[in-house]
Structure 1
Amino acid sequence: MKNEDLIPADEICVRYKVERQFVSSLYESGIIEMVTIQETEYIHCDHLADFEKMMRLHKELDINLEGLEAINHLLRKINRLQEDNLRLKNRLGLYE
């Protein structure tokens, strides 16, 4: 993991106009991942899309943290099922 790919959590709060507690809540619930380097918390740029998605759901649809956790769980499950489906299609293609 490169340090250039890390964005300070405080900077994300300023840019997206969200409270620090919201970012911490997403981290504590496992929706986003953060790393701590020298007492500063960072979010990897790969997780920024997940953060933005959850932030929009929270702000625009007024979904609480528990709802965001459920949505995140279902989205991950859908993603895994799509990957499994693609893998099985590829295996099936070998036998046709």
Structure 2
Amino acid sequence: METDKFIRIDHFCEVYEIELSFIEELVSYELISITEQESVKCFLPDDIPHIEKMIRLYKELDINPAGIDAILLLLEKLNKKESELTELKSRLSIFLK
């Protein structure tokens, strides 16, 4: 693939004023995946909103990558439960009519 379809990690860190080690920690916790294009570490532009959320948790709430991992796991579970609840409510609506 062409490198112009990817975001260079070094450039991203510079723009968002974060350390490269933070991104490396996110990779080690498997919170993001990176690829190497022409010997440059990169990620897909679609990953930016997800990474921005983690940066906000890190910078604004001073949460380390292990905490971010736990928070994202809990949020994922919460979203799943909300979906299940919505589905159950729609099933129940048949009986309430």
Structure 2, unaligned stretches of length 5 or more? Answer: none
Indicate the percent of aligned positions where both proteins have the same amino acid: 30
Normalised to the residue count of structure 1, the TM-score between the two structures is 0.77
In our comparison, the structure showing a higher alpha carbon Rg is 2
Aligned residues: 94
How far apart are residue 55 of structure 1 and its match?
Answer: 0.6
| TM-fit CA distance, 1:75 | 2.0
Q: CA RMSD in A?
A: 2.6
Partner of 1:26: 26
Q: How far apart are the structure 2 equivalents of 1:54 and 1:34?
A: 15
TM-score with structure 2 setting the length? 0.76
Deviates more, 1:6-15 or 1:33-42: 33-42
Q: Look up the SS of the partner of 2:41 in the other structure.
A: strand
Structure 1: runs of 5+ lacking an equivalent: none
> Residues 33-67 of structure 1, C-alpha deviation per residue, up to 9 Å, x if partnerless?
21112221111111111111111111111111211
* Residues 2 and 37, structure 2, Cα contact 8 Å, conserved in 1: no
Aligned to 1:70: 70
